Amino acid sequence: MTEAESEETRPDLVPDETIDNRGRGCAAGIALVQQALSNLPDGAVLEVRSTDKRAKVEFPKLAERTRHELLAFETERVGLLKKEYTAYVEIQRE
C-alpha cells in the first residue's frame, strides 16, 4: 500500500544524482549529501531519499543556510507506519 502525501509535486525532471539513505543512519547520509553538494556542477539536481523523519526539517534548513534551492520535498507513506522522504535540491554555485 502506498499513499502519497506530497507537500509539493515531484519536479518534472531527472535528477543528476540520487542518494538513497533509506534505512541508514543520519551521519552516513550527511557525509554523502555534503560530498554531492561539493562535487555537482551549478544547476545540477540532487535527489535525496531518506526514512529519517528529521529530513523534513533538515533539507529546508539546508536550503536556507546555503545558496542551493530546495525544488520540492515529498513525504510518502509506505506500509502502515513507515514514511519515506525525498528532497530535490538544485545546486547553486553563483
Percent over 90 (pLDDT), the chain: 52
pTM of the model: 0.83
Contacts (Cβ under 8 Å, ≥6 apart) of 37: 46, 66, 68, 89, 91
- 29 vs 62, higher pLDDT: 62
Of the chain, the end-to-end C-alpha distance in Å amounts to 42
* Residue 2: per-residue pLDDT: 40
State the Cα–Cα distance between residues 91 and 41, nearest whole angstrom: 7
Q: Domain residues of the chain, as ranges?
A: 2-90
Provide the CA 86 distance to its chain's centre, in angstroms: 4
What integer is the mean pLDDT of 59-88? 91
- 53 vs 89, higher pLDDT: 89
Q: Domain 2-90, what fold?
A: Translation Initiation Factor IF3 (3.30.110)
